[in-house]
Chains A and B, each alone.
Chain A
């Protein structure tokens, strides 16, 4: 066998050896979580202002009914949690945390609306993994990202930012927070703002 061929065989064996380890690690993704890598922290310009009326909207929810922001006027404070996309790492994490914080929302006379630009079947499959959620999950799929766009949190690739909005019973925006899309906002931020609302 020529020395070139021998070298080829050795290298080929090395590649197989190394890539089998690589594929072994990719077994970790068999739970359907797609890792998009590190993204640009923010990719939008906020269109809403604290102190002004938040844009009204009506969106389909997982329960089948359509939910509007204005239906809570005079009744509840509304927290909107936009998360970028189903089936991606940090996103998979945020709502299960709010799921065990229902008491905090109740204490502050608030409800939570979870919104992404995914369609209903996607949201259904994804949130099923989180256990039973106490709050409505809304789909801003069609027209694509229209509500995210109205708030100014639609990114150039079509997903929304990781954003929190707090709207009072008069429909006025009281707090807006766009987090680095790669991170999760500390629960403390939300709790602090909710408590501020009710202390006024």
Chain B
């Protein structure tokens, strides 16, 4: 009888442990290479040049794989993140490099999502660093949560197929350090 009681108590304890640690496993993780993106919904930009760049029209929302292009690179960043601030000129270089390469312009698109940043703060960052590519406000951290609450800067690259399906080809925390090298890597991973 005593033995059974002892086993019941320790089993109960182990089940409790399981329940306690399970939520950690159920947490959302960042998108994995080879998988598809979670559903990230952004507002169609107001600026006509950004609409044109992304191949979007009118108002409302869009999902990242709906962007016109073969590859989309997006940066999860924050105006308040010192690493993102330091990295901004390099990400600008990345954009310039894409736009000045005949084989890549129009095919590789770049956007930034400012997590926890208001529209004012997005605008402020854009002006401070003279960012030419579209930036989006995720003021309520909704996208941040879907992305598994990653630290910043976090870069993701997806390859969009002709039939509209897509696949994640790059998903990593950290600065890209060198625009040329990063772009070469993305081109290689996408098979462009």
Residues of A contacting B22 with CB < 8 Å? Answer: 18
- Interface majority SS on A: helix, strand, loop or mixed? helix
Q: Mark A1-42, 1 if CB is under 8 A from B, else 0.
A: 000110110011011001101100100100100000000000
Is the CB of A143 closer than 8 A to any CB of chain B? no
Is the CB of B89 closer than 8 A to any CB of chain A? no
Chain B nearest CB, measured from A124 CB (Å):
16
Alpha-carbon gap, A36 to B118, bound state (A): 24
Does B79 lie within 8 Å of A18, measured CB to CB? Answer: no
Does A187 lie within 8 Å of B128, measured CB to CB? Answer: no
Is the CB of B182 closer than 8 A to any CB of chain A? no
Is the CB of B112 closer than 8 A to any CB of chain A? no
Residues of A contacting B18 with CB < 8 Å? Answer: 11, 14-15, 18
Does B151 lie within 8 Å of A7, measured CB to CB? Answer: no
Residues of A contacting B10 with CB < 8 Å? Answer: 8
Residues of A contacting B78 with CB < 8 Å? Answer: 93
Residues of B contacting A101 with CB < 8 Å? Answer: 124
Is the CB of A50 closer than 8 A to any CB of chain B? no
Given known pairs A21-B25, A31-B151, the reply for A186 and B120 (CB within 8 Å) is yes
Is the CB of A119 closer than 8 A to any CB of chain B? no
Alpha-carbon gap, A25 to B21, bound state (A): 11
Residues of B contacting A187 with CB < 8 Å? Answer: 79, 118, 120-121, 124
Interface size in chain B (residues, C-beta < 8 A): 29
Does B86 lie within 8 Å of A15, measured CB to CB? Answer: no
Residues of A contacting B103 with CB < 8 Å? Answer: none
Is the CB of A45 closer than 8 A to any CB of chain B? no
Residues of B contacting A11 with CB < 8 Å? Answer: 11, 14-15, 18
Residues of B contacting A100 with CB < 8 Å? Answer: 79, 85, 125, 128
Q: Which residue of A lies closest to B6 (CB)?
A: A4
Out of B25, B82, B85, B120, name the residue touching A18 (CB < 8 Å): B25
Interface residue ranges of A95-111 to B (CB < 8 Å): 96-97, 99-101
Residues of A contacting B79 with CB < 8 Å? Answer: 97, 100, 187
Q: Which of B15, B22, B82, B121 has the most CB of A within 10 A?
A: B82
**Further contacts, 17 of them, CB under 8 A, given A100-B79, A191-B120:** A8-B7, A8-B11, A11-B11, A15-B18, A15-B21, A28-B151, A93-B80, A94-B80, A96-B80, A97-B80, A97-B121, A100-B85, A101-B124, A131-B86, A187-B79, A187-B120, A187-B124
Instruction: Identify the 10 closest CB pairs spanning chains A and B, nearest first.
Output: A22-B24, A188-B120, A93-B80, A97-B80, A11-B14, A4-B7, A186-B118, A22-B21, A96-B82, A18-B21
The residues of B with any CB-CB pair to A shorter than 8 Å are: 3-4, 7, 10-11, 14-15, 17-18, 21-22, 24-25, 27, 78-82, 85-86, 116, 118, 120-121, 124-125, 128, 151
